[in-house]
Structure 1
Amino acid sequence: MRIALLYAVFAALATAANIGAQDMWLRWWHGPYTVTLSVLAGTAVGLVVKYMLDKRYIFRFKAQSAAHDGKTFALYTLMGVLTTVIFWGFEFGFHAVFGTREMRYLGGALGLAIGYLAKYQLDKHFVFRAPTATAPHA
């Protein structure tokens, strides 16, 4: 139960970081592709925040080296591609249907919540799994 609560809190923090980064981008950039670039910026910020929290507190993962950590982050990111499609689908869908920033953020938050549920299972089974034991050599 503790892990589920922590995961939910970290998902909320990453969601806040994502939406906050989007809002900051929108305040700064007024050129072409404003919404798309804000979503990309928010996604990047949320990804890094969530990786750092999950790695340390949820999965208690300790990388063997910077290269190992980089490979783990790459796999973590790859697992996030599917969940990002869910998140973006909700966010852009709400934007298309309602046309307001607030509703787009709500769609993004809902999409992130659904995506994080799926992402936990993917990360548990494919990213932060315990190393397999090797048979002793005779």
Structure 2
Amino acid sequence: MFYATFAMLATAINIAAQDIVVRLVHGAGAIPVSVVFGTAAGLVTKYLLDKRYIFGFRARDVAHDARTFGLYTAAGVVTTIIFWLVEFGFACAFGSKEMRYLGGIIGLSIGYLAKYHLDKRFVFRAEAV
């Protein structure tokens, strides 16, 4: 239950960050830049929530937390590719920002489901960090 709530919150932060960047950055690169910023905002939000409330993880020190965040980010590469493909696929297929955002929400939903299992198995195991 909490995982789904946190995924929705991170998704909202991701989409909001994208929308803010698109309003501030103009030109051909605005959308890719917005997606990168949104992805980063969602990633950090989700990491902070997941490590504490989902997996009960407490780092020994800053270096341990940084290594864990690196693993968390690496586990998210494949799921981020899924998210981006769906978002940009919707943008190409439907040609509107609303449909691009809907694609982003769908892509993030698929990605977060896969990410939970990757995090549980590889990131927040005692042996992994």
TM range (shorter): over 0.9
TM-score, structure 1 as length reference:
0.91
User: Which of 1 and 2 has greater Rg?
Assistant: 1
- Residue 123 (structure 2) aligned to one of 81, 102, 127: 127
For 1:130 and 1:71, the matched residues in 2 are separated by 13
Identity among equivalent pairs (%): 62
Provide structure 1 residue ranges, at least 5 long, that are not aligned to the other structure.
133-138
Query: 1:53 offset after TM fit, Å?
Result: 0.3
For 2:91 and 2:71, the matched residues in 1 are separated by 30
RMSD: 1.0
Query: 1:32 offset after TM fit, Å?
Result: 3.4
Q: SS in structure 2 opposite 1:82? A: helix
Query: 1:18 offset after TM fit, Å?
Result: 0.1
Do residues 114 (structure 1) and 105 (structure 2) align?
Answer: no
The number of residue pairs the alignment matches comes to 128
| Counterpart position of 2:7 | 11
Structural mapping, 1:69-84, within 5 Å:
69-84=65-80
For 2:58 and 2:28, the matched residues in 1 are separated by 41
- Residue 32 (structure 1) aligned to one of 15, 24, 28: 28
- CA deviations 1:47-68 (Å, max 9, x no partner) are 0000000000000000000000
For 1:43 and 1:120, the matched residues in 2 are separated by 16
Q: Which runs of 4+ in 1 moved over 6 A?
A: none
For 1:45 and 1:37, the matched residues in 2 are separated by 12
TM-score, structure 2 as length reference:
0.97
